[in-house]
A and B are shown apart, each in its own frame.
Chain A
Amino acid sequence: MSKSVSIGGDFLSLIASQSIIPARTETASTALVQTQATTVFSFHYAGGALMAGDRRATAGNVIVTDRVDKVIEIDATSLLAIAGVPATAFEMARVLQTSFEYYRRSQLQPLSLPAKVRALARLLRENLPMAMQGVGIVVPLFAGLDQTVSPAQPQIFFYDPLGAQFQAVGHAASGSGAGTIRSILSFQERYGTPRPSQMNLEQAVQFALRLLLVASEFDSATGGVNPETQTFATIKILNEQGVQDVSFVQQAEFLKL
């Protein structure tokens, strides 16, 4: 009954068989001013991995919106943080969400973490022509749960625009504010008390919000955090139980600590 799929459980093969190819478009010789998303980062804390992102999207010097969610739950045990062009990044997220769930349901087992990491690398490679022309570049972060060990351990990965994947030891950051974030995270990891890896959830969330506040002082394309206007970050955590959201109410409480 079903059309043959060359690789069992591979959603990309299925949509290719129907001539639906996501994230591939003809490129133009002159690029438009693109909407871009900015600062995202992830670090290990005592209870798992935290992934956070500001909510600003810009096009040149124009602020398009301060309400973008750049940290996306891909499935119950995977998170994606996007930096770059949202149009391409959101499409990649949608492909991953459908692919992982398609595999899990059709093959009656979840996709392994290495396969998830490579699935994103494959999408980035397929986006290479766009990235080379400066249109649709995406440099994401990925966090997934390694379930081959007990208890399951969250792992953080970062990529280059060509699709190379690297596992982060303590932290990773991407986007225009990443330089500031990485510097502070490195300093804190080496000299801080507590170190990020020793922080509890409250401390980790407060630290993440402060990181974004500092990054927004140096980078106009990074939206800050402003409790008065109810502007917070998108923060999700990944631990043994899977993905959990840190709500704006929780963020407001933790920021006051």
Chain B
Amino acid sequence: MTEEPYRWLEAVANRREYVREQLKGGSPAFAASLPEGILLLSVGAGQSKVFELFDRHALTGLGHPADLEKIRQAAIDAAHMEAFTRAPEDVSLRRLVSFGLSPQLKTNFEQIFSAPFLVELLLAEVGHEPGQDVLLRLHFDGAFHFQSNGTVVAASQPEPEAAAQKWLNAGLAGKANRSEVAEILLQAWWCLTENKAFTESLPSEKERRDGWRAAVSGRVVEMGWLARVCQRSARYQNLTLAQVGL
């Protein structure tokens, strides 16, 4: 198969289709850069969706729990090795992903005789000021892109993800209140999981508010907060709905 380029391309395309199919129904994840820090949010079973990686770094995403766990462990190993052999200040998301996670994901995706990673990831690094924040969207095939502000969404399908991100970037522009931002992210989460289009036919705000509250019943809203200013080197903290005032 690998000696015939056409069949190889077909196999890769099939894998892409397979991964997307497997990821369908995954709970979307969000990261938003705010003046006082970065908020990561998703809905899961508790300690299953939003994770601390290192002092200023966190991870969220969707996919197969075992694959998510492998990548989380690999990122934590690499970050701590880097911090120990050099310094904690040398741990950067850009290097961690560009030279570590991304090549490994790409290799794994293109090795068509082994199982691909079933994940869509979102990583965040808090900077000294909002302009230095790094929000990184990493796909199952190793492709990634950075942005330094606004909101990033990780969903199972690219089109709804892009629509949600556009809607959020417009809706959250200028908003600094963590509680208000979490509320809007949860509305977007509900719209994505309910396959609501981010168009004029989007449900009213009241429907969205009621919708996410009903949908998270029996599940855990997982939130991570990377504080921009903190006395300790570890900036990460898990948040509950009550802690953000929802």
With a cutoff of 8 Å between Cβ atoms, the chain B residues found around residue A3 in the complex are 77
Contact between B234 and A76 (Cβ–Cβ < 8 Å)? yes
Q: Is A240 an interface residue (CB 8 A)?
A: no
Partner of A14, one of B70, B81, B232: B81
| B interface SS class | helix
Residue among A95, A102, A108 having the largest count of chain B Cβ atoms under 10 Å:
A102
Q: How many chain A residues touch the partner (CB < 8 A)?
A: 20
Say yes or no: is B73 at the interface (Cβ < 8 Å to chain A): yes
Cβ-defined contact, B77 with A14, below 8 A:
yes
B81: which A residues are within 8 A, CB to CB?
A: 14-15, 18, 20
Of B51, B53, B70, B83, which one neighbours A1 at CB under 8 angstroms? B70
Q: Is the CB of A98 within 8 A of B80?
A: yes
A2 with B74: CB separation less than 8 A: yes
With CB as the reference atom, state the residue of chain A lying closest to B71. A1
A44–B141 alpha-carbon span in the complex (Å)? 55
Number of B interface residues in the complex (CB < 8 A)? 21
Number of A-B contacts (CB under 8 A): 48
Query: Are B73 and A11 in contact, with the CB atoms below 8 A?
Result: no
Distance between B147 CB and nearest chain A CB, rounded to angstroms: 25
| 0/1 string, B46-84, CB within 8 A of A gives 1 | 010001111000000000000000110110110011011
The answer to the question of B85 belonging to the interface, with a C-beta cut-off of 8 Å to chain A, is: yes
The 8 A CB mask of A79-96 against B (1 = contact, 0 = none) is 000000000000000110
Q: Are A2 and B70 in contact (CB under 8 A)?
A: yes
Q: Is B104 an interface residue (CB 8 A)?
A: yes
Chain A 1-43, CB within 8 Å of chain B: the 1/0 string? Answer: 1110100000100110010101000000000000000000000
The answer to whether the Cβ of A160 comes within 8 Å of any Cβ in the partner chain is no
A residues near B (Cβ < 8 Å) are 1-3, 5, 11, 14-15, 18, 20, 22, 75-76, 94-95, 98, 101-102, 105-106, 108
Which residues of B are interface residues toward A (Cβ below 8 A)?
A: 47, 51-54, 70-71, 73-74, 76-77, 80-81, 83-85, 101, 104, 108, 232, 234
* 7 more A-B residue pairs beyond the given contacts A11-B80, A20-B84, A75-B234, with a C-beta to C-beta distance below 8 A: A1-B104, A15-B81, A20-B81, A22-B84, A101-B80, A102-B76, A102-B80
Interchain residue pairs with CB less than 8 A apart (24): A1-B70, A1-B71, A1-B101, A1-B104, A1-B108, A2-B73, A11-B80, A14-B77, A15-B81, A18-B81, A20-B81, A20-B84, A22-B84, A98-B83, A98-B84, A101-B80, A101-B234, A102-B76, A105-B51, A105-B52, A105-B53, A106-B76, A108-B47, A108-B51
